[in-house]
Amino acid sequence: MTLLREEQHDILGSKIRFHDRHRFEIKLDLSLPNASRGVYRVETYFFVPRSLNINPATYTKEDFYNSTQKYIRFKTPQMDLGKLLDIGVLTSPISRIMRNTTQLLSGERDRSLEAQTVDEIKLLGCMARGALRDYVKHMLAELAASGEGHEARLAGAAENCRAFLGDVRTLVERIRSLRQEMSRPVMPARLRDAFSFLDEFLSLTVEDQLAELLEGVRARATQRKTLAALDEALVALVLDQSAHRRAMGYPSIIQAGKRNETIVYRRSVLKKFISSVLHLQIQVSEWEGFLQFSFGLAAGIAMLFATAAAIYAQSRYTVKSLPFVAIVVVSYIFKDRIKDWLKLYFSRGITRWLADRKVDILDPVYGTRIGSFKEGFSFITGDSVPTDISHRRNIDNITSMDEEGKPERVFKYEKEVALYPRRIARHHERLHDLNDIMRFSVREFTLRADDPETDYLYLNPATKDIKALRCARVYHVNMVIKYIIHDAAGREKVTYDRMRIVLDKNGIVRLEEVPVG
């Protein structure tokens, strides 16, 4: 349930994942064009059952934006594990760490050199984790394809895996050796601490990935003899990791019979530290342009109505008369309602060409503005849903009556992203592509949902007994995502995703992909 959809759209690939009980994640993989500027737009339409009571009065812009988390980060550079360990490969972080370490041990005290080395330490952790994960994924696929009658293929895969384990041992030994270098008193304390974090992080990563591979090996029950040597090598490496962490005094140790909250917390801390080298800084500011002017205009029109009503009342009645008081009170009531109606109208009408918020994307190391995005949210009527979106929303309807049987509210989230690839390339030779990640919480949707189970009377055809069965009550929130991408030649490409989020009072039950053709 971790990965539901992965589809490549040339320069943009989309993944929609289950994250936890109340959140799912939309992840876009962006391959940046060799251009001064690249733009893409994402329009997401949510079709929510009216029974969940999601409407402009109960679910505001602030509610929507508070339900989202957004991240922009560089994709982890890919490098074969063998090349990553080769000090002759100048783009390898290990090569650069060793070169910088020599300078630092010689007494070099350049703050920028220290900062660069910390970044290389973090990047080494990211790239090593990526290489381990990719190889284990590949090996598991090979094992799955090497069924009965494919003993030669299985033996070849096992041999390749043993060679891979040789690289893993070399990685572990190289990191431990470098840690001894980093532990010398002459090294800055920040570098000593950073490398300790890397050592612990990679030990956990190796343990996690190899344990997953070991599980896949042992699932081949009928081929255990062919895989016996591989099984033994995996066990030795996995056990070595926990022994190393225990010997180093790291807190990330599993203890049988305990809650083991420390290891979960520690893994999160280490992962955030190591991956921080890839994360870009996003600077959110409320849009102060015409949207705020329009809201001021709404308040002005409402005040104009109230003032006109007061002048009219004063011209017809005395200030102390009952009719005068009644007109002023009624005009005050209508003033607030007019202001709210106009604000809603303006926010709906300008979402397509003016955003709610503008976000600058900054390089956290150099402070350079490397892009920006604008985003807007609004409820729309069924008649306002574009034809291509409504077609994909209703593509799985059984009959034309389905739409009447499932009345929905529709809201739209639109984001337009502009990036400057050449500004990125100016400072980053290995970081070329980006991940655009949004996590969305359905917690607000579940607040008004009914209990997750209900009784249903059932007549057993065999015994003729009537029983009350407990049946699950779920809601379907449908989502259509439209991607508009401009390629290097300036041509517009449009692709779609369609998802069904099945949820109940307790949160997300499952995610379902609906083909859009």
| pLDDT per residue as tens digits for the range 408-467 | 999 999 988 888 888 888 878 787 788 889 999 999 999 989 898 888 888 888 888 898
Q: Quick check: 122 pLDDT over 60?
A: yes
Range with the poorest average pLDDT among 101-115, 141-155, 329-343, 500-514: 329-343
pLDDT, position 39: 83
Q: What is the 3-state secondary structure (H, E, C) of 350-382?
A: HCCCCCCEEEEEECCCCCCEEEEEEEEEEEECH
Query: Which residue, among 407, 402, 371, has the nearest Cα to 283 in the 3D structure?
Result: 371
Within 10 angstroms of residue 316's Cβ, the number of other Cβ atoms is 11
Helices (H), 228-321: 228-248, 261-275, 290-316
Within 10 angstroms of residue 32's Cβ, the number of other Cβ atoms is 20
Q: Give the Cα-Cα-Cα angle 246, 161, 217 (nearest 5 degrees).
A: 75
Evaluate whether 366 touches 347 at the Cβ level (below 8 Å).
no
Q: pLDDT averaged over the chain?
A: 83
Please compute the mean of the pLDDT values over residues 325-348 and round it to a whole number: 65
Cα–Cα distance, 321 to 316 (Å, whole number): 10
Length of the chain: 517
Q: Domain spans of the chain?
A: 5-74+359-513, 81-277, 288-350
Evaluate whether 5 touches 497 at the Cβ level (below 8 Å).
yes
Residue 181, exposed/middle/buried by CB under 10 A (0-12, 13-18, 19+)?
middle
The residue with greater pLDDT, 290 or 392, is 392
Evaluate whether 167 touches 93 at the Cβ level (below 8 Å).
no
Q: Quick check: 195 pLDDT over 90?
A: yes
Strands of the sheet containing 357-362, edge to edge, are 281-286, 357-362, 369-380, 408-419, 38-49, 475-486, 492-504, 507-513
Tokens 């030779």 belong to 429
Evaluate whether 206 touches 233 at the Cβ level (below 8 Å).
no
pLDDT, position 309: 73
257 to each of 240, 250, 261, how far by Cα in Å?
21, 19, 12
Evaluate whether 142 touches 56 at the Cβ level (below 8 Å).
no
Q: Which H or E run contains 169?
A: helix 151-182
CA terminus-to-terminus distance, the chain: 23
Range with the poorest average pLDDT among 163-167, 288-292, 331-335: 288-292
Cα–Cα distance, 267 to 201 (Å, whole number): 7
The residue with greater pLDDT, 485 or 353, is 485
Evaluate whether 377 touches 46 at the Cβ level (below 8 Å).
no
The residue with greater pLDDT, 264 or 149, is 264
pLDDT, position 4: 42
Q: Model-level pTM?
A: 0.76
pLDDT, position 126: 94
Amino acid at the residue 126: C
The residue with greater pLDDT, 149 or 486, is 486
